Chain A
Amino acid sequence: MFYSIIHIILKITAAIYIRLQPIGIENIPKEGGVILAPNHPSDLDSFILGTAIRRQLHTMGKEELFRRRFAEFAFRKLNAFPVKRDQIDREAIRTAIDILKNGHVIDMYPEGTVSIDGSLQEPKLGTAFIALQSKVPVVPVAIIGTFNVMSKGQRFPRPHKVIIKFGKSLYFDEYYDKPYNKEILKIVTGKIMSEIKILLNSDKL
């Protein structure tokens, strides 16, 4: 209920303020667990992504955001769960895998953190790891324009057009149930990143 109300408010705000334009939304499977894997130009990406899609989005948020009681209440109602930064947080990884196995949508940013200049950064392997552990497809996503709305360190959003492109689902079944292998994680990560790049650079609207 809380999620639906906030969703409607943000949808109206986004339509006016950032003229949010989702493209390829039909590429998100209608049901079942799925990871949305976008580039990460802004702290607002998860809010805007959640606004752009019809299914409810679950998201990892840095632990610091959950320290105040009201913020914790609101973020939890918005399907966010805390993750400790600068370390491997097993609890957060377990939570993400459980959410996906229960058939929900999560956004996971392969770059791991917001980009300082808005460009793509070197990826980490966590997104691929969670995709293979939870055995769900990954939808590559290009977020364009949020860097101009609110870049890192900026306090208030500015109006600027935002386009979000959703690519076709990527399936990695061939790598399920294999022994742990960093090379496989690199291959999967590389595939996700190259699809994000293609979406970012394609002119097709």
Chain B
Amino acid sequence: MSVFEKMKRIIAEELDVKETEVLPESSFTDDLGADSLGYIVLLQALEEEFNIQIPDTDTAKLKTVGDAVKYIKDRVNNEG
């Protein structure tokens, strides 16, 4: 399963949206309804799924699903 596919499943589960609503250009806050606490829940789930730590200094870069997919791919590749 690709990073994007996994991410779609996690976002749908954690934010209670349909997988079909999760697009690479979807913004977590504007399109997927994550407020600041919802965003934290999502980051935790991503950290667990991909076995990485996402420092707070990086979270400003993760505005859309596409940003997060790219970030996770880079991190997993660099660390794996």
Contacts and interface: CB of A to CB of B under 8 A. Distances in A.
A91 B56 contact: yes
A133 B41 CA distance: 9
B43 A180 contact: no
A88 interface: yes
Chain B contact residues: over half helix, strand or loop, or mixed? Answer: helix
The contact size tier of chain B is: 10 to 19
Contacts of A126: 37
A179 B16 contact: yes
Interface in A70-121: 88-91, 93
A91 B16 CA distance: 25
Contacts of A162: none
A181 interface: yes
Contacts of B43: 90
Contact of A90 (B13, B34, B38, B40): B40
A185 B35 CA distance: 12
B36 A182 contact: no
A125 B14 contact: no
A182 B13 contact: no
A185 B14 contact: no
A100 to B, nearest CB: 15
Contacts of A93: 40
A129 B36 CA distance: 11
Interface of A: 88-91, 93, 125-126, 129, 133, 179-182, 185
21 contacts: A88-B37, A88-B40, A90-B43, A90-B56, A90-B59, A91-B56, A93-B40, A126-B37, A129-B37, A133-B41, A179-B16, A180-B14, A180-B15, A180-B16, A180-B34, A180-B37, A180-B38, A181-B16, A182-B35, A182-B37, A182-B38
